[in-house]
Amino acid sequence: MQNLDVNKTVSAWSSLAGTVFVPHTEEEYRQLVGLLDRLIDEAGEDESHPLASLMEIIGVLIEKYEDEHVPELEAD
């Protein structure tokens, strides 16, 4: 297991915390969707791209919000 350097983690997270977050409002949700769109434009579907894991994390955050706030359409 990697040792966590808390000081480096705080520094790195401080620069990302305003961009990567758990969305609680429709506006925050839209911000994350826009960020994911820009990341996809940059990385495409390259799973080895340095941003691939960030895209996955943001996708999970978006999916969580949708599961909790977006009603499912019922098929007729």
Asked whether residue 1 carries a pLDDT value surpassing 80, the answer given is: no
* pLDDT value of position 3: 75
The rounded radius of gyration (Å) of the Cα atoms in the chain is 15
Do 32 and 58 form a contact (C-beta atoms < 8 A)?
Answer: yes
* pLDDT value of position 75: 65
52-69 helix and 26-43 helix, angle to the nearest 10 degrees: 150
Do 7 and 14 form a contact (C-beta atoms < 8 A)?
Answer: no
Asked whether residue 2 carries a pLDDT value surpassing 80, the answer given is: no
pLDDT single digits (tens) 22-63:
999 999 999 999 999 999 999 998 999 999 999 999 999 999
* pLDDT value of position 4: 79
